[in-house]
């Protein structure tokens, strides 16, 4: 509608401009010039309003697209969280192999020591981790693997690997409760 109004206003303004040039009467010329000025203003305002409506529509479309993208990103983030939680629950539901659990605890205990020993060099650290994993796999074949404390296993692997960095125990197994000897019954 605005386009049609702009076209009609432009046609009227052109007609007024032609009549204004042909006019020989001063009063008629003044009246035609005022009418031309009003019509040209109507054309300018109509075109400005049309441009504003197009900009507003484009801005609204961009805002809707951005909101949809944010919604999609949020949905993807939530789906990823759900997948990770399901995986965690599935791992927790799996029966824990006691040998793998012990190996994992030794790895956790020695992680910082390996990083210190490698002096922060990623490649050296990876080599040490691979060596640790191989030594733990070998130690796990021993029938008394589960009888050693985590600290004793870690110290044995440290000695086998020839590591020189200081080993600080930050993970320990609970100490076994001391055995209580039965007390003689009071017969007196």
The full set of domain ranges for the chain reads 2-60, 97-161
Q: Mean pLDDT over residues 28-48, rounded? A: 79
pLDDT confidence of residue 99: 83
Residues 124 and 118: beta-carbon distance below 8 Å: yes
Q: Mean pLDDT over residues 90-114, rounded? A: 78
CA separation for the pair 183, 179 (Å, rounded): 12
Q: Strand, coil or helix: what is 186?
A: coil
* 181 vs 78 pLDDT, higher one: 78
pLDDT confidence of residue 56: 93
Calculate Rg over the CA atoms of the chain.
Answer: 43
pLDDT confidence of residue 171: 46
pLDDT confidence of residue 59: 93
Q: What rounded mean pLDDT belongs to the chain?
A: 79
Q: DSSP string covering 43-94, please?
A: HHHHHHHHHHHHHHHHHHHHHHHHHHHHHHHHHHHHHHHHHHHHHHHHHHHS
Q: Mean pLDDT over residues 32-56, rounded? A: 83
CB half-sphere exposure, 13, CA atoms < 13 A: 15
Given the structure tokens 């020189």, which residue do they identify? Answer: 164
CA separation for the pair 102, 115 (Å, rounded): 20
């Amino acid at each position: 509608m605005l386009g049609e109004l702009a076209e009609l206003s432009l046609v009227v303004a052109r007609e007024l401009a032609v009549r204004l040039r042909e006019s020989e009467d001063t009063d008629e010329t003044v009246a035609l010039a005022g009418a031309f000025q009003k019509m040209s203003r109507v054309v300018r305002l109509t075109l400005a309003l049309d441009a504003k409506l197009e900009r507003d529509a484009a801005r609204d479309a961009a805002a809707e697209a951005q909101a949809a993208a944010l919604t999609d990103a949020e949905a993807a983030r939530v789906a990823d969280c759900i997948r990770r939680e399901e995986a965690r629950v599935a791992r927790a539901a799996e029966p824990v192999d006691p040998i793998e659990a012990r190996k994992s605890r030794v790895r956790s205990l020695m992680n910082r020591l390996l990083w210190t020993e490698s002096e922060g060099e990623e490649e050296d650290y990876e080599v040490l981790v691979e060596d640790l994993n191989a030594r733990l796999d070998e130690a796990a074949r021993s029938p008394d693997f589960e009888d050693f404390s985590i600290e004793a296993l870690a110290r044995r692997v440290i000695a086998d690997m020839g590591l020189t960095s200081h080993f600080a125990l930050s993970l320990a197994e609970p100490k076994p409760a001391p055995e209580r000897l039965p007390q003689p019954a009071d017969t007196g």
